[in-house]
Structure 1
Amino acid sequence: MPLFRHHVFSFRRLWAPLAVLLISSCAARPPHEPGTFRAPELVELQKLDPTIQLDIRYATARNFVGRPVYAQARAFLQRPAAEALVQVNQELAPLGYRLLVFDGYRPWRVTKLFWDLTPPDKKEFVADPSKGSRHNRGCAVDLSLWDVAAGREVPMTGEYDEMSPRSYVAYAGGTPEQRAARDLLRRHMEAHGFTVLPAEWWHFDYKEWKAYPIQDMPFEKL
């Protein structure tokens, strides 16, 4: 059984009914931020580079929530971040890999839902909606490597969205091959202006994230 399924089962016993939380999240509003921000320019990743692979878990039931929270399986980033990601994807091609994207821009209401669903001892794995997420700004991306020859996701030290120490960037377990793949991904992402989140090997923030406002626009309106 995939590791993330165990965590979904465990958390469900602690969570309030999802329907109630969805209503609460939709009724809430993003925090107000003073200051001047760049005009958002969210672009769809596969329109820039169709060879980027997608596995938008939040458009399926295969995620830690256990059901879809997106109506569409699409991935967006602010243009500078998206163009940098395309460079990473092209750089990996001669090595036999492509990027496999799980999530990019995330509406604020989904961040609030994740926060409300997650038990206190697992909050390090989700963003505080009172501050907003870098995903909400269109400057964070969740991804892994895709093995082109094998036609599958490259095994890493832990599953995507797994809320355990296996997700830590510094986790010393797993196989040498898994750690090497995790570190390869990090090196190439960091070379193009992204910084990894210490608690999540798959989460990378783009260097200019502070320049963009928190957004709550659903995919259907982009």
Structure 2
Amino acid sequence: MFKLLFFLLAPVFAFSQSVTNPYNLPLTNSIEKYQSEVSANPDNEFVDLSEVIPDIILDIRYATPNNFTHKVVYDLPKAFARRPVAKALASVQKELRRHGMGIKIFDAYRPYQATLKFWNLVEDTQYVAAPWSGSRHNRGAAIDLTLVILKTKEEIKMPTDYDDFSEKASPNYVQLPEQLIANRAYLIKVMRKHGFTVFPSEWWHFDFKHWDEFSLVDISFEQLLDYKAINK
């Protein structure tokens, strides 16, 4: 009887975890669920950063092979963030603009499937998010960025390039030229002023306050654009 029961239940256990959600996280992975969350709280809406900050510069590395995976991960070179995050970034840009500077975005909202791919390549939680808990990028509440000179669009020199996995990428690393330390400190100062906290091992990664109030999301950029087109 026990053996029979085991074989009857085995398929249930086998399919309780899916390939797209192997850790059974409470993902927002359908437009219907996302729409429900936005209806309940407009702050849950994903905003296209290039629309709310027209002079923002995008360099979405994961939409190109120019990233640590050497593969195209995203279907489109877009940057989305939750509404309060986008509003805060607009304030950052406004402040920087007065000094002839601006921000360049490397990554913003990241579908959960990308987090799974990254973990399969780099199984180290110091550098990539643990797939069993998800990333703050998956919540639309984390931004990877740097500073640029608006007139020339030239990046202001920082300690490392984006997605550098060395100790030099830490915001606390000090064995650097004074100018690089000053540039990094200014970026962190401006971001902190507008509600962002720098990640301990990545000078370019900033988490927005109350990030844990947003759900983990696994919806493609194309789906978000389609949703926006329908709900104009």
- Percent of residue pairs bearing the same amino acid type: 40
Tell me the C-alpha RMSD between the 2 structures.
Answer: 1.7
Question: Match of 2:12?
Answer: none
Q: Is the 8 A contact 2:25 2:133 kept in 1?
A: no
1:32 paired with 2:36, answer no
Cα distance between partner residues in 1 of 2:184 and 2:24: 34
Shift of 1:102: 0.4
1:69 paired with 2:62, answer no
The residue type paired with residue 120 of structure 2 is D
Question: Match of 1:94?
Answer: 98
Aligned pairs for 1:51-200 (under 5 A) are 51-118=55-122, 120=123, 122-200=124-202
Q: Is the 8 A contact 1:194 1:205 kept in 2?
A: yes
Aligned pairs for 1:10-29 (under 5 A) are 27-29=19-21
Cα distance between partner residues in 2 of 1:140 and 1:59: 17
Question: Match of 2:49?
Answer: 45
SS of equivalent residue, structure 1 residue 83: helix
Question: Match of 1:22?
Answer: none
Cα distance between partner residues in 1 of 2:202 and 2:24: 25
The residue type paired with residue 221 of structure 2 is F
Cα distance between partner residues in 1 of 2:163 and 2:24: 25
Cα distance between partner residues in 2 of 1:49 and 1:149: 16
Structure exhibiting the larger radius of gyration computed from Cα positions:
2
SS of equivalent residue, structure 1 residue 188: helix
Q: Is the 8 A contact 1:31 1:131 kept in 2?
A: no
Shift of 1:32: 2.8
The residue type paired with residue 79 of structure 2 is A
Q: Is the 8 A contact 1:160 1:202 kept in 2?
A: yes
Aligned pairs, how many?
Answer: 193
Aligned pair partner of 2:205 in 189, 196, 203 = 203
Q: Is the 8 A contact 2:25 2:132 kept in 1?
A: no
Cα distance between partner residues in 2 of 1:96 and 1:178: 18
Cα distance between partner residues in 1 of 2:120 and 2:185: 32
The residue type paired with residue 32 of structure 1 is L
CA deviations on 1:74-130 (whole Å, 9 max, x unpaired) are 000000011001100110011121010000000001011101101x4x430100010
Deviates more, 1:146-155 or 1:183-192: 146-155
Shift of 1:158: 0.8
Structure 1 unaligned regions, length at least 5: 1-25
Shift of 1:150: 3.5
CA deviations on 1:134-187 (whole Å, 9 max, x unpaired) are 000000000000112343111100110000011000011332221111111100
Cα distance between partner residues in 2 of 1:175 and 1:93: 26
Shift of 1:31: 3.5
**TM-score, normalised via structure 1 length:** 0.82
RCO (CA 8 Å, sep 6+): is it higher in 1 or 2? 1
SS of equivalent residue, structure 1 residue 196: strand
Cα distance between partner residues in 2 of 1:33 and 1:219: 20
Shift of 1:58: 0.4
Shift of 1:27: 3.1
